[in-house]
Amino acid sequence: MSISVRNLSKHYDKQKAVDSISFEAKPGRILGFLGPNGAGKSTTMRMLTGYLKPTSGEAEIVSKNIITHALEVKNHIGYLPENTPLYTDMYVKEFLSFVGQTYQLKNLSKRIAEVIELVGLTPEQHKKIGMLSKGYRQRVGLAQAIIHNPDVLILDEPTSGLDPNQLVDIRALITELGRNKTVIISTHIMQEVEAICDDIIIINKGKIVASDSLMGIKKANNDSPLEDIFRKFTV
Amino acid sequence: MYAIFKRELFSFLSSMVAYITIGIFLLVSGLLLWFFPDTSVLDYGYAELSGFFSLVPYLFMFLIPAVTMRSFAEERKEGTYELLITKPVTLWQIVSAKYLACLVLMLFSLIPTLIYYYSLSKLGFPEGNIDSGAVIGSYIGLFLLGSAFISIGIFASALTKNQIIAFAVAAALCGFAFLGFDYSSQIVTMQNFETTIASLGINQHYQSISRGVLDTRDLIYFVSFCVIFLLSTKLVIEGKK
């Protein structure tokens, strides 16, 4: 298991943003995190990546505890935060080289050229990040998440705000990356889930209300469309 | 950590922040030292830089918070802090990298003022008649004072996402740390503790180093001052986790 989460909770005063969730994710599969806004998807991802501290519970990534081995765990995770925050005053290559240095990568310039090629940033690679369109910024965000070839990829709404052509490209890229990594993505788009996810977890009000493979969840609900299944669990 | 330090320093140098603050610093200190008759050394008639060294703390009080205010406030507002802390670096490395970058920027602003020293030593009669010991001591004092102000500024920047608030809090704290203790020591009811209270303030230690005597007590004061504020910065940010 490359990700295993047990009874993870995050409380803000009395509000339970994430309420004792447990799940596992396997290598080579893409796990879709679904749920209405404010359900606790981002909070869960932020705890796994070490940005937020869990109130209780524990999680292991590549068999290492996320609290006691925080730095090692971070070396194995590639993370794209919600809304893709980036240093807009930096050039694309400069930024990727900065990220690569925080991971202490060797042969950095070769690796930068590789990821630029991989995410399709080649035509824009000499620009400042602030000058890029939303779609290209998203690619920079993905590039910085995969630059150290992590075992686990955590992508928080990686396709929000992209046009249909970019959607197809980014999804293809995620599917490609998912072949040998453990990928968790959060999204609101049901077609996307059907297109790329292998497993599904639906979260509502901080609790897991459904957790199954895409096939399994459809079968259990008489092959009804995913929108209806989503509404059934979360309304 | 070096990567973050480099990024911070380059972002100062590639934006106007560095040039404008250093420019203002040199302009104002130059005008006051050489042109305005009330404060000018030419009118004063003695080849010494003490006027410059008593003036710079007041400039630093506003210019240093202007440089440090963005360090955490901006990152947290833009969300890039999330990007940074999920990389395999510790919070302490981030805090110290930002601190060091500001420190280097302050050094950049001090180096050109060596010209003032050179010019004055040429103007002295006979030539070179200037108290170099005091000048060296004062520069060390100024550097330590600046480091203390930077640690205050970084701390203030961690308190809020709003850069204006970070600036105002930092400037007020710098002002109080520099002069506040001196002034409060003179309050009548506190007269029994006058020297104790005054010795908590930066001014006392700055003055004593400026005399050209580098006392370990002053050094320890400045070092622990910075460490306390940087540790508080770390605590404040961790508390928001």
Smallest CA-to-CA distance from B230 within B162, B176, B153 is with B153
The confidence band for A191, taking pLDDT boundaries of 50, 70 and 90, is confident
- A178 and A70 co-located in one domain: yes
| pLDDT, chain B, mean | 91
Give, to the nearest 10 degrees, the angle between helix B132-159 and helix B163-175: 140
Question: Residue A87 and residue B80: Cβ atoms within 8 Å?
Answer: yes
Sign, CA dihedral B234-B237-B240-B241, equals: negative
User: Which among A85, A88, A101 has the least Cβ separation from residue B82?
Assistant: A85
- Distance CA(B140)–CA(A202), nearest Å, equals 61
- A-chain residue closest to B78, CA distance: A85
| CATH value at residue A70 | 3.40.50.300
Cβ count within 10 A of residue B31: 12
| Cβ-contact A95, A137 below 8 angstroms | no
Domain boundary among A149, A177, A196: A149
- Distance CA(A85)–CA(B209), nearest Å, equals 45
Fill in the DSSP letter of residue A144.
H
- A21 and A130 co-located in one domain: no
| Cβ-contact B88, A103 below 8 angstroms | yes
The predicted pLDDT at position A165 comes to: 86
- A103 and A48 co-located in one domain: no
Look at B152 and A218; give whichever has higher pLDDT. Answer: B152
* pLDDT surpasses 90 at A53: yes
Q: Could you tell me the residue range of the domain that residue A19 belongs to?
A: 3-76+152-234
> What is the mean pLDDT of the segment spanning A51-68?
93
The predicted pLDDT at position A104 comes to: 93
- Is the full-model pTM beyond 0.90? yes
List, for residues B144-162, the tens digit of each pLDDT value.
999 999 999 999 999 999 9
- Distance CA(B86)–CA(A144), nearest Å, equals 12
> What is the mean pLDDT of the segment spanning B161-180?
95
- A162 and A71 co-located in one domain: yes
The predicted pLDDT at position B47 comes to: 78
- A123 and A220 co-located in one domain: no
As for how many domains chain A has, the answer is 2
Which chain A residues touch B88 with a CB distance below 8 Å? 71-72, 74-75, 102-103
Q: Which residues contact A196 (CB under 8 A, 6 or more apart)?
A: A30, A32, A171, A174, A175, A178, A185
List, for residues B193-217, the tens digit of each pLDDT value.
888 888 889 999 999 998 878 889 9
Q: Is A98 on the interface with B (CB under 8 A)?
A: yes
- A111 and A48 co-located in one domain: no
Domain boundary among A149, A166, A198: A149
Which one of A44, A45, A86, A102 makes the best mutation probe of the B interface by having the most chain B beta carbons within 10 Å? Answer: A102
The predicted pLDDT at position B17 comes to: 85
List, for residues B22-31, the tens digit of each pLDDT value.
999 999 999 9
Residue B196's Cβ-side half-sphere holds a number of Cα atoms within 13 Å equal to 4
The confidence band for A84, taking pLDDT boundaries of 50, 70 and 90, is very high
What is the separation, in whole angstroms, between the first and last Cα of chain B?
A: 21
The confidence band for B126, taking pLDDT boundaries of 50, 70 and 90, is confident
Q: Is A79 on the interface with B (CB under 8 A)?
A: yes
The answer to whether residue A81 is domain-embedded is: no
- A90 and A142 co-located in one domain: yes
Q: Is B88 on the interface with A (CB under 8 A)?
A: yes
The predicted pLDDT at position B145 comes to: 96
- A126 and A230 co-located in one domain: no
Name the percent of chain B lying above pLDDT 90: 63
Tokens found for residue B209: 């180093």
The predicted pLDDT at position B131 comes to: 84
- A-chain residue closest to B93, CA distance: A102
The predicted pLDDT at position A164 comes to: 87
| List of E strands, chain B | none
Smallest CA-to-CA distance from A147 within A197, A206, A193, A78 is with A78
CB proximity under 8 Å: A 143-172 to B: 144
Question: Residue A81 and residue B86: Cβ atoms within 8 Å?
Answer: yes
- A69 and A156 co-located in one domain: yes
The answer to whether residue A14 is domain-embedded is: yes
SS3 state of residue A182: strand
- A28 and A66 co-located in one domain: yes
- A183 and A225 co-located in one domain: yes
- A71 and A96 co-located in one domain: no
Which chain A residues touch B7 with a CB distance below 8 Å? 87, 90, 98
- Distance CA(A118)–CA(B63), nearest Å, equals 44
> What is the mean pLDDT of the segment spanning B212-224?
90
